[in-house]
Structure 1
């Protein structure tokens, strides 16, 4: 065995004691090479028929794991004391069964829908409940209509990714510090961070305004990213930057009526009915493929609206080998996504099972502080917009020295703000605890300076169009020759290869191409596309990318070797439809099939709604009592199948009952009876909701150059060892240029002054510096 290993968690043992509904949390560890052991009293597939919905769901969650039986505490204790990390259902008992010699260094992560302890620990959650309590449901749908439940199981999938990221961070911290943490993961906390956080960093189209200031209802149809009919379907445009509009205008033949400078402004274009009509006429007689091809050639962000099936059948999916097969039984094969992350050019695939343990050649002594386990690590952050900002922010919150490399010539889209300083509440939330280095990478001396910084760095992050780093001379091959221990992570929309690799990579276009936009519609209106203001999958994509970075840092502790991470937003989305993809390959509908009723019901009060889901007979019996429908306990309602046959009538009756109820009171009454239910919270409601207050989830920070307070998460998960994130304010562009060069490279003041004079280093722009000194530009006009 050599020290060259492909899968970074090879040799790590993780014990999975999770409830079956969230066992997918540990699948990411299998992909990264760990041995994940899962006790299953009924054996593989949980005793279900592999070709049944339950069997498909089990396979998706547990592919590649080592399935064993542990029938008593002695057998379980043996497994617990083999593991480097235990991930268990809350409240759990793993810590009590750890031997004294294993206790200090073993990580224990407990996972519950509402966390361990607290007055909500006994509450029940389903995917719709998480959507309601994260504020996502309130923003899904169209103006004047009921809230629209997002498709699939996005809330649970994103929550599981956050939980997996938190576990990886704790595992790396234990390897670096010798101290195993005790982490309490609430899947509601996890969902509100990783799906579409109302108080997190948002895309450039919002100009950084907080989601709590949005109108309380759903957005108007076609808001921001118009979807227009073409010859063989629909296409979505995502024209935001002035340069993109100029490209669109030229593609349309330079129509004189839209040549004015006012059309350089996104808001003017969005509100111009004549312009929208002209664009609609321009695309109407062209096919999706033609528009995608010519749009890409003209530099216009555009994508056809594809179904999931069309996406899976595309040449791009085939070229990137995104879908593989897993054999079950003697003759059946199940199609599954081939994994999300590429490490060192190889796709990490759970179906390969655990990787062989490496030879430990570079064991680093445990010296770091468990409260700040990434302290001392140096990160160069070239990331932009949401996924770029989030990846580095996660590392900064745990103590890494994150330097945001930027330039006034090509500012991060999230610097386009309602404030003239380039700050906003969104930017402040997404870039806390970082420093800003203004550096001219167009100049040869600026590139040389970056290479010197790269030689000192531990991690470099970017999310440009594939090939951009190589064109700058900063590809992995070039920089690893300077620094063999460097870890580089690149995120893109469609991946670094394949026919779609060169497309512009905005989230709305990725959702359109991956089949998600097609699914996000009301059943009675085929034109009711409703994903326009979601930020998914940027935040969850950042979790997968950061997880891979931490796994490579763990590998580096053991081998001294760096590595490269590549992640694609489209592949994140496809992984979240793994259950549907797998079921379809067997002719089985394996998507969640809740009992009746399932829905969003209007409560008393204006635009107040409550989600109710029924999972099983116990939930049904409890609901029957609460709604006062003794007739529902008869033989015609005895099974889920019978209830689903009467679903429309049952839901009509529940709607009648709910219409007379206060949404909050109905939620609490149903939850007290064990029925998963939740009132629809708006983003502005979240900080005052008693669950979040009790968990101490949110905190309020104050930026020295802003009047508006910044509400953000206090920590990534409740932890025994890790301190809550620092509150160092997000930087002005170039605010720390001299400081970073002095700290990292030891340059003297004379050399720094010369670099500033030659415009190689960029300080805070003079007008911004003047406004800050005068106390101006702090609040929106």
Structure 2
């Protein structure tokens, strides 16, 4: 296997250069080490004499695992026999000279070493030990085993995936495990940053399932502006969305992100704000029934969304994707083509951004996504291929590398990011969540906003100034009302930026530059500032200014087309998911923290450019690599695994109840036979190998389906897990908060948001149990401009008279008087009652029309 891209010049140091990480992960958790390696850490795979199992993981091309290739690039490999005294001695030598150790949960390693996490930590108190397991080291499910599909089921994602009237639909690839990996990298760097201040290592009890529940499409996270302030539980408490308009019922978000057929495939639209609707209305022509200006208000249009979408479908059906996308761009209407994987490869925008790296595998030319990060105008990705077994053993064991001595600057009692000042101009989810991640860890995060251009998450059906969805993404922040379009407003921002550490934004690329507040302008006054920009397609390239909403990003990266019932032409299953917003926020956060670590040495900041589209494509790296080798092979497969059977979801007793069973090897098949009490199946030679089970998949699936159907999903899960077979019930949002495992792991905290009038559940920190990272201290999200006077007085020393003058001129804004909690509660009840009456009226009108 060869890499065609030349390595970076030797003088271009990566952010984590000098950090050494031992990686024990095999099959589980390898992406975390890959992310750290991309950022410059020296990540060393510690492999047994026969090599890691992941070297054999399917799909395999010319004896090379595509999974291993994509998950272990930029790493080193040492080959150790941990059962021998010499191997143990060499391992401890490596530990002594390492900053971090990532443990993938293989208990046999610790048995061979005759030690434990706590014993190793007592010997090396400054070691950061990141334990990555399926369900954590504590909690009732701590001994459970899982796969991608099991995690999707047990993290509530599966219950919202697919469409009403069809089975739940597993998303493609291993998106859940990849989202967990970026959270693990974020946690590892938080621990490293904390150690650099107080000298203490850490034992991080990191649960993949916890991370997915926080990061993929969280049940207690922000839900996007289309949700109109409602929580995820209120939007989809029980099942999958209804994709057809039903009179008398509030339409699901699926109807606001509709997909339409056209002559050469499908396109997706997101017509949300009044300006977009005016343009769409003009396109539809002067004679349609929704030309009245009142339909520019989304609430009025939503009640007629079925008829509106029919008009749009009629307009689009005889036109090509390319024409529709171009016309949408010209008119300012967000439209994206539902791309095929091959079209993602054949894309000038991604080529100009160096998204793909060319790799030679067994004489076959292939392309692999290079990596998540663009930092300082450079793609940070694959520089060296996954190592051959033991390729670096001799060099690494003979080298005299020692850890740099710690320069401790503060005592033990501190929040990791205390003292960091962040100017947060981010909006909706990707921007809001990014700032919140820093605020949770103790940074002072100032949300810069104004009434003329409010954050979309502040929208709600009941006009609540701080609705629940906004509160979830903006807790622990302070709000500054500032007009960035006035000269005085810009001057104030620049004064703040002079002392700031980080500026985050997710406007359309070029917006900050047009305001005179781009990175080049800011670093002139503050060379150490780090600017992080997040957008749909990235800040450079032909499609940089493409209008970006999550559903359109999923369409443009082939994800929507892959996330589909294969037997249904219009069976797209990503109707209401919020992905990759939360995921992309953590990609940005990890890059920012890596630059902060580097800045401690260089005193120089930098520019981080996060593309949500590239986040998705890199999360499907193995799949895209396979597609490049065998064009046309990457397509929607529904709920069946291509690599073993039985590996799917199965209906259980009850109303729309399901359980995932995920057999991935022969031992697990035997375990399932024991769980079903079917010795005859265990003895059947047709089923004893992966090849045999795949050949007889239909028969096996039918047997398992009949076994599951009279049992509850929890009974199926427990019977299987007792035999070490990966299985999990499909958890619904309505069950989420009461789940015993999440509660045992302190997954939830309480957030009292005064405008909501009640305490709501919110997610805890990014790792459940840590020796050195305290849980977040939860404070409510701010009202718009709530802290203007305080911030102007304390940060740039303005007097009361100066502040009043700037308020009078419109350069500064202060919080306006809002309804009290009781009044707001009454308003909410009144709005909800009025909505019910209105829905009934529309139902009756529809009935009378016949």
Q: Which TM-score band applies after superposition, normalised by the shorter structure?
A: over 0.9
Match of 1:293 among 326, 329, 351: 326
Match of 1:625 among 653, 662, 674: 674
- Cα drift, residue 776 of structure 1: 5.9
Match of 1:703 among 733, 753, 763: 753
- Cα drift, residue 184 of structure 1: 0.8
Taking the aligned partners of 2:32 and 2:121, their CA distance within structure 1 comes to 25
Taking the aligned partners of 1:614 and 1:48, their CA distance within structure 2 comes to 17
Task: Report the counterpart of residue 744 of structure 1 in structure 2.
Answer: 795
Match of 1:167 among 188, 192, 200: 188
- Cα drift, residue 31 of structure 1: 1.1
Task: Report the counterpart of residue 713 of structure 1 in structure 2.
Answer: 763
- Cα drift, residue 509 of structure 1: 0.3
Give 3-state SS (helix, strand or coil) of 2:65's partner.
Answer: helix
Taking the aligned partners of 2:644 and 2:409, their CA distance within structure 1 comes to 51
Unaligned runs of 5+ residues in structure 1 are none
Give 3-state SS (helix, strand or coil) of 1:720's partner.
Answer: coil
Match of 1:80 among 95, 109, 112: 95
Match of 2:262 among 219, 227, 230: 230
Q: Contact 1:552/1:563 (CA < 8 Å) preserved in 2?
A: yes
- Cα drift, residue 370 of structure 1: 5.5
Task: Report the counterpart of residue 758 of structure 1 in structure 2.
Answer: 809
Give 3-state SS (helix, strand or coil) of 2:646's partner.
Answer: strand
- Cα drift, residue 500 of structure 1: 1.5
The equivalences for 1:2-401 within 5 A come to 5-41=12-48, 42-43=50-51, 48=56, 51=61, 55-71=65-81, 72-90=87-105, 95=117, 103-213=124-234, 214-221=236-243, 222-255=254-287, 257-272=289-304, 273-327=306-360, 331-352=363-384, 365-367=408-410, 369=412, 371-401=414-444
Taking the aligned partners of 1:37 and 1:96, their CA distance within structure 2 comes to 22
Distance change >3 Å, CA 672–CA 370, structure 1 → 2: farther
Match of 2:460 among 408, 411, 417: 417
Could you list the per-position Cα deviations for residues 237-267 of structure 1 after superposition, in whole angstroms to 9, with x for gaps in the alignment? 1011111111212233344522213312324
Task: Report the counterpart of residue 694 of structure 1 in structure 2.
Answer: 744
Taking the aligned partners of 1:773 and 1:160, their CA distance within structure 2 comes to 43
Could you list the per-position Cα deviations for residues 490-519 of structure 1 after superposition, in whole angstroms to 9, with x for gaps in the alignment? 001001122221111100000001000001
Taking the aligned partners of 2:739 and 2:170, their CA distance within structure 1 comes to 21
Could you list the per-position Cα deviations for residues 60-105 of structure 1 after superposition, in whole angstroms to 9, with x for gaps in the alignment? 11011011112221111111111111111236657567587x8233
Taking the aligned partners of 1:750 and 1:656, their CA distance within structure 2 comes to 77
Taking the aligned partners of 2:824 and 2:291, their CA distance within structure 1 comes to 37
Taking the aligned partners of 1:54 and 1:352, their CA distance within structure 2 comes to 16
- Cα drift, residue 701 of structure 1: 2.1
Unaligned runs of 5+ residues in structure 2 are 1-8, 82-86, 244-253, 387-400, 832-850
Task: Report the counterpart of residue 673 of structure 1 in structure 2.
Answer: 723
- Cα drift, residue 175 of structure 1: 1.9
- Cα drift, residue 361 of structure 1: 13
Taking the aligned partners of 1:496 and 1:560, their CA distance within structure 2 comes to 25
Could you list the per-position Cα deviations for residues 503-543 of structure 1 after superposition, in whole angstroms to 9, with x for gaps in the alignment? 11100000001000001111211111111100111111111
Task: Report the counterpart of residue 603 of structure 1 in structure 2.
Answer: 652
Taking the aligned partners of 1:369 and 1:461, their CA distance within structure 2 comes to 29
Could you list the per-position Cα deviations for residues 426-461 of structure 1 after superposition, in whole angstroms to 9, with x for gaps in the alignment? 211111110000101111110111111111111100
- Cα drift, residue 731 of structure 1: 0.5
Match of 1:448 among 491, 500, 510: 491
Q: Is 1:498 aligned with 2:541? A: yes
CA RMSD of aligned residues (A): 2.6
Taking the aligned partners of 1:611 and 1:734, their CA distance within structure 2 comes to 47
Taking the aligned partners of 1:280 and 1:418, their CA distance within structure 2 comes to 28
- Cα drift, residue 304 of structure 1: 0.9
Distance change >3 Å, CA 267–CA 54, structure 1 → 2: farther
Distance change >3 Å, CA 269–CA 779, structure 1 → 2: closer
- Cα drift, residue 223 of structure 1: 2.6
Task: Report the counterpart of residue 567 of structure 1 in structure 2.
Answer: 610
Taking the aligned partners of 2:786 and 2:91, their CA distance within structure 1 comes to 54
- Cα drift, residue 334 of structure 1: 4.0
Taking the aligned partners of 1:722 and 1:333, their CA distance within structure 2 comes to 45
- Cα drift, residue 659 of structure 1: 1.0
Distance change >3 Å, CA 671–CA 371, structure 1 → 2: farther
- Cα drift, residue 285 of structure 1: 2.2
Give 3-state SS (helix, strand or coil) of 1:39's partner.
Answer: strand
Taking the aligned partners of 2:404 and 2:531, their CA distance within structure 1 comes to 21
Match of 2:707 among 645, 651, 657: 657
Distance change >3 Å, CA 46–CA 732, structure 1 → 2: closer
Distance change >3 Å, CA 631–CA 64, structure 1 → 2: same
Distance change >3 Å, CA 59–CA 250, structure 1 → 2: same
Taking the aligned partners of 1:75 and 1:648, their CA distance within structure 2 comes to 49
The equivalences for 1:480-491 within 5 A come to 480-491=523-534
Taking the aligned partners of 2:802 and 2:229, their CA distance within structure 1 comes to 36
Q: Contact 2:260/2:266 (CA < 8 Å) preserved in 1?
A: yes
Could you list the per-position Cα deviations for residues 656-697 of structure 1 after superposition, in whole angstroms to 9, with x for gaps in the alignment? 111110111221121111111111111121121111121121
Task: Report the counterpart of residue 439 of structure 1 in structure 2.
Answer: 482
- Cα drift, residue 3 of structure 1: 13
Distance change >3 Å, CA 76–CA 709, structure 1 → 2: same
Taking the aligned partners of 1:341 and 1:13, their CA distance within structure 2 comes to 20
Q: How many residues align?
A: 773
Higher alpha-carbon deviation: 300-309 or 580-589: 580-589
Q: Contact 2:100/2:128 (CA < 8 Å) preserved in 1?
A: yes
Taking the aligned partners of 1:280 and 1:223, their CA distance within structure 2 comes to 12
